[in-house]
Amino acid sequence: MSFRNMVIAVTFLLVFFAALQFSVDSDTWWQLRSGEFIAEQRAIPTTDSFSYTRAGEPWRYPSNAWLGELKLFLINHLFGLGGLNVWVAAMVTLAFSFIYLAMSGRLLLKSFVLVLAVLASGIYWAARPYMVSLVLAAAFLWILEDFRWGSPEAGRRFRRLLWLPALMMVWVNSHPGFAIGFLLLAVYLLDEGVRWAWARYRGNAKTQKVAGDRLSSLALIALTVLVAACINPAGPAVLAYPFETLSIGALGDSIQEWQSPDFHSLQAQPFAWLLLILMGVLGAAHRPLALSDFLLVAGFAFMGLLAVRNIPLFALAAPIVLTRHAEPWLQELGSIRKLKKAGRRQPAGWLPLLNASIVGLLALGALARLAAVFPGEANLQHLATKLPVGAVKYLQRERPPGALFNSYNWGGYLLWTLREYPVFVDGRTDLYADGLFDDWLSTVSAKPGWEATLDKWRVRLVLVEPAWPLAQVLATAGWQLLYEDELSVLYGR
């Protein structure tokens, strides 16, 4: 095995290994339930049937995530939770494969930067449809980067752009993150527009014609992508959905993935490292910064600083810009020249075997990791450390009557495992919006009026974390403790 092939294999084995983990989170469960509904009913849910607080109310999310939810359910149905773990790892690996193709520079530079970017994006991996957004955002970047910097052959560039409408059709039916595709198109359209305006200002007819042809080609593709985005169960109305979601105040106020990263956490620090290295490289490089490069890294860095869920977008864009500017800088330092000379030497006869052995050892490590996260029992044991498994078993066994008031973090798990108990609230924040979510937050915080909320919904069972103020006051308000463990308390009346 050659050194080049060894480095590439090691890089992507490391990516797959890093992404192969227990991936089910609180939102996975309600998306599995929705996917189950789609598979069994052969229809896309348009109203809520999983809660009692929003029963019968319009629910728009499945209209542009039905394909992603159906895929999650089928994977879980065929392979269990371990299959979802493998799917997440495969999606991460595929996404960064597109980024690797879009990167420039030498082998070791690309591999180092890619692995760092993968670590940065790891703060927001889970078995949810947004993994499709990660892959398709990477594919859009690869295609648009090729158009901006690739072969000067116009026909080849345009043929690859033709994939964008088809990809958007998949995207808009898989996850609301399809809006990222339009952000990327806007970046490159603005870049092409400025280049055309500059050529016109300079009065160079030939350059102006080339720039005009490029701008019109990309504008035409953007228009077809917009049309493709309307091919979904909700039609053009789905285009407003991402903006409506962003307008929900409860997202930024109370939900961690919509809040700024905590850089005291080790999990958030690779994002800071990648950002600082990028700033250093751009400061040291002599190459002018293209408008598209600036918009990509500045825009996604700003978004990542605003919300944790946006960090993977920065991790996709930053390696492309970083390696483009680091390569000439390293050449000036002479490091790459020395590596090129060393690379021309005839390798020793035993080096290919050593390279293959390194790859084999890492492959064995990935298989060992797979054996740890794929079995169903291992996944159940992991879930038992985070979810009210014991309380759910008690409810399934004893079946106490009454409406259940539940923790937001557990709502999805409860609607998947406790079909006979509709939930008060779960991770579908767009459905509950600010009003009901605010009522829930006031109640679990035991603020004045918490009793009125429980009375309004005729709640007879309360399942929350022991540390919540509500759990502390129920015992003194006449409620009976039905079940208790380290993770949860269940009260009834």
Domain ranges of the chain: 3-343, 387-492
Report d(CA 183, CA 186) in Å as an integer: 5
pLDDT at 285: 80
Under the banding of pLDDT at 50, 70 and 90, the label for residue 199 is confident
State how far Cα 253 lies from the chain centre: 20
Report d(CA 81, CA 187) in Å as an integer: 38
336 C-beta neighbours (distance < 10 Å), count: 18
pLDDT at 393: 95
Report d(CA 237, CA 223) in Å as an integer: 17
Average pLDDT over residues 129-142: 96
Residue with the larger pLDDT of the pair 248 and 168 = 168
pLDDT at 323: 94
Report d(CA 64, CA 181) in Å as an integer: 14
User: Is 381 within 8 Å of 387 (Cβ atoms)?
Assistant: no
Under the banding of pLDDT at 50, 70 and 90, the label for residue 475 is confident
pLDDT at 345: 55
Average pLDDT over residues 267-275: 93
Residue with the larger pLDDT of the pair 20 and 328 = 20
pLDDT at 153: 59
Under the banding of pLDDT at 50, 70 and 90, the label for residue 209 is confident
Q: Is the pLDDT of residue 160 over 90?
A: no
pLDDT at 152: 60
Under the banding of pLDDT at 50, 70 and 90, the label for residue 274 is very high
Q: ∠60-65-71 over CA atoms, to 5°? A: 140
Task: Return phi, psi of residue 40, to 5°.
Answer: -85, -40
Q: Is the pLDDT of residue 333 over 80?
A: no
Share the mean pLDDT of the chain: 90
Average pLDDT over residues 184-193: 96
pLDDT at 66: 94
Q: What burial class does residue 84 get, using C-beta atoms within 10 Å of its C-beta: 0-12 exposed, 13-18 middle, 19+ buried?
A: buried
Amino acid at 143: I
pLDDT at 97: 97
Report d(CA 124, CA 117) in Å as an integer: 12
Q: Which of 120, 129, 180 is nearest to 315 (CA)?
A: 120
pLDDT at 253: 65
Q: What burial class does residue 277 get, using C-beta atoms within 10 Å of its C-beta: 0-12 exposed, 13-18 middle, 19+ buried?
A: middle
Report d(CA 413, CA 417) in Å as an integer: 6
Residue with the larger pLDDT of the pair 284 and 367 = 367
Q: Is the pLDDT of residue 336 over 80?
A: no
pLDDT at 252: 62
Strands 480-484 and 403-406, sheet pairing: unpaired
Residues facing residue 405 across a β-bridge: 462
33 C-beta neighbours (distance < 10 Å), count: 21
pLDDT at 257: 81
Residue recorded with tokens 């991770």: 427
Which two structure tokens, joined as six digits, stand for 106?
């030498």
User: Is 401 within 8 Å of 420 (Cβ atoms)?
Assistant: no
- pTM, entire model: 0.91
Task: Return phi, psi of residue 152, to 5°.
Answer: -70, -5
Report d(CA 267, CA 271) in Å as an integer: 8
Q: Is the pLDDT of residue 250 over 80?
A: no
Average pLDDT over residues 188-213: 88
Which two structure tokens, joined as six digits, stand for 368?
């060992």
Alpha-carbon dihedral sign for residues 155, 231, 311, 186: positive
Report d(CA 421, CA 402) in Å as an integer: 8
Q: Which of 207, 188, 427, 223 is nearest to 320 (CA)?
A: 188
Strands (E), 303-458: 403-406
Q: What is the DSSP letter of 479?
A: P
Report d(CA 164, CA 175) in Å as an integer: 16
pLDDT digits 0-9 by tens, 283-319: 888 788 999 999 999 999 999 999 899 999 999 999 9
pLDDT at 101: 95
Q: What burial class does residue 196 get, using C-beta atoms within 10 Å of its C-beta: 0-12 exposed, 13-18 middle, 19+ buried?
A: buried
Q: Is the pLDDT of residue 478 over 90?
A: no
459 C-beta neighbours (distance < 10 Å), count: 21
User: Is 444 within 8 Å of 463 (Cβ atoms)?
Assistant: no
